Amino acid sequence: MEELGIFVIFFASIFTSNILLTNFLGMCSYLSVSRELKTAWGLGIAVVFVMTVTSVANYFVYYHLLVPLNLEYLQYIAFIVVIAALVQLVEMIVDRVSDRLYAALGIFLPLITVNCAILGSSLFLVIRKYDLVQSLAFGFGSGLGWLLAIMALAGIRSKMARRSKVIPALEGPGIVLIITGIIALGFIGFSGMVQIN
């Protein structure tokens, strides 16, 4: 396989291999925090930030700690520990630095600790053998892709809440999953452009 440019990885992780719409990771918070655009934006930005930071941190943990010690099989537990600690640190920093930022973003950080998209992105960069810069581009791009997906859904949901009558059997997660499926089908249209898997 030829070496992928970082821009290809970046755009592919947003569109053709969107972590949510093609890998279905990070669904829980996607479904529960997508009622309003404002909160979806807050959570989405928090995901972008945490995903970028943890991808880089876990790159170092994997290649500079686990690989030299032949402990690759411990990647799951190591990644989770790193993610949890980093999220807590970031929350404290945000809390200290800016109340406004804390109200808009910090409050969502604990929710993200258990978001599987974050762990997923760290695991993908190992599976796909990215180098440091590629990992950075991939983490940042995947975060943006997740943000794009939740904003699209939140936009549709808030419009739907005002105008549409949903049949009772499909109310709540039912119709949301159907909408997500249709958006995902739309995103498959991009996949002809580039494949990073």
Number of residues lying near other proteins (CB under 8 A): 25
Which of 6, 31, 45, 107 binds other proteins (CB under 8 A)? It is 107
Which of 28, 60, 64, 88 binds other proteins (CB under 8 A)? It is 88
- Rounded CA-CA distance 64/41 in Å is 34
Which of 27, 37, 63, 95 binds other proteins (CB under 8 A)? It is 95
Q: Among the candidate windows 12-20, 84-92, 138-146, 171-179, which touches other proteins by CB under 8 A?
A: 84-92
Which of 12, 14, 17, 42 binds other proteins (CB under 8 A)? It is 42
| Of 73, 75, 74, 197, nearest in space to 138 by CA | 197
Please, are residues 59 and 140 in contact by the beta-carbon 8 Å criterion? no
Q: Helix (H) and strand (E) counts for the chain?
A: 9, 0
Please, are residues 17 and 197 in contact by the beta-carbon 8 Å criterion? yes
| 61-87 per-residue burial string, b: 16 or more CB within 10 A, e: under 16 | bbbeebeeeeeeeebeebbbebbeebb
**99 in contact with other proteins (CB under 8 A):** yes
Q: How far is the CB of 66 from other proteins (least distance, A)?
A: 8
**67 in contact with other proteins (CB under 8 A):** no
| Of 175, 154, 139, nearest in space to 58 by CA | 139
**61 in contact with other proteins (CB under 8 A):** yes
Residues near other proteins (CB under 8 A) are 39, 42, 61, 65-66, 69, 71, 74, 77-78, 81-82, 85, 88-89, 92-93, 95-96, 99-100, 102-103, 107-108
